[in-house]
Amino acid sequence: MTNQNEKRMKKKAVCDSCKHQKCRDGKDCFHLQDMILPEYRGEKLRLTQVAAGIEAEFYLRKNRLEELILFAKRMKYQKLGIAFCIGLIDEAKILGNFLRRDFEVVSICCKVSGIDKDQLHLDKMQPETHESMCNPLGQATILNRHDTDLNIICGLCIGHDILFTQQSRAPVTTFIVKDRMLAHNTVASLTCPYLRKRMIGD
């Protein structure tokens, strides 16, 4: 590899500042094609093919739940796991009912095992009471024991979602992102000018 190619591959990625997005037309700004294409094989290739097929066939015609169901069917998944926040148990029930029409579904609450935060010296909202910690490692362990084919995050807190994903043996997708202030609509913090102004502090 020439020094020039090495520099190109180490080029800092700031694609959000790009004014052209010529990658849409085939430009390889980071000279990755030769290295990355062989990575798309086996299960990774299958995942990519199914994802591209759903995008091409149902673009702007299916919502995220419909896409999730289609994806799981086309991947021939049979057992799905739901890792949910106790604060979204109603949403988890509805999601589970939809999915059980086509799949076996296992669900696990974030407070599984009832471990008091004191045992790990975690901050508590009410220090004088028992306060069960969120237990994403426990959630992933239970779903691993059930040999789920795909695990679905339903409103896990920031950080807990990371731990869950690291511990899960099955691939993970997120259906609901936790945002208590914005009714779990995280994109509002980017699209609402009033919220942006408050966060920037103007």
Q: What is the pLDDT of residues 47-72, one digit of tens each?
A: 999 999 999 999 999 999 999 999 99
**pLDDT tens per residue, range 155-171:** 999 999 999 999 999 99
* Number of neighbours of residue 187 by Cβ within 10 angstroms: 10
> Tell me: the pLDDT tens digits for 88-102?
999 999 999 999 999
Domain that holds residue 104: 79-177
- Evaluate if residue 136 carries a pLDDT over 80: yes
The answer to the question of residue 130 being in a domain is: yes
In the predicted model, is pLDDT for residue 127 greater than 60? Answer: yes
Is the pLDDT at 202 greater than 80? The verdict is no
- The model's pTM is 0.92
Query: CB–CB of 163/137 below 8 Å?
Result: yes
CATH at 132: 3.40.50
Q: Looking at the domain assignment, is residue 72 inside a domain?
A: no
Number of domains in the chain: 1
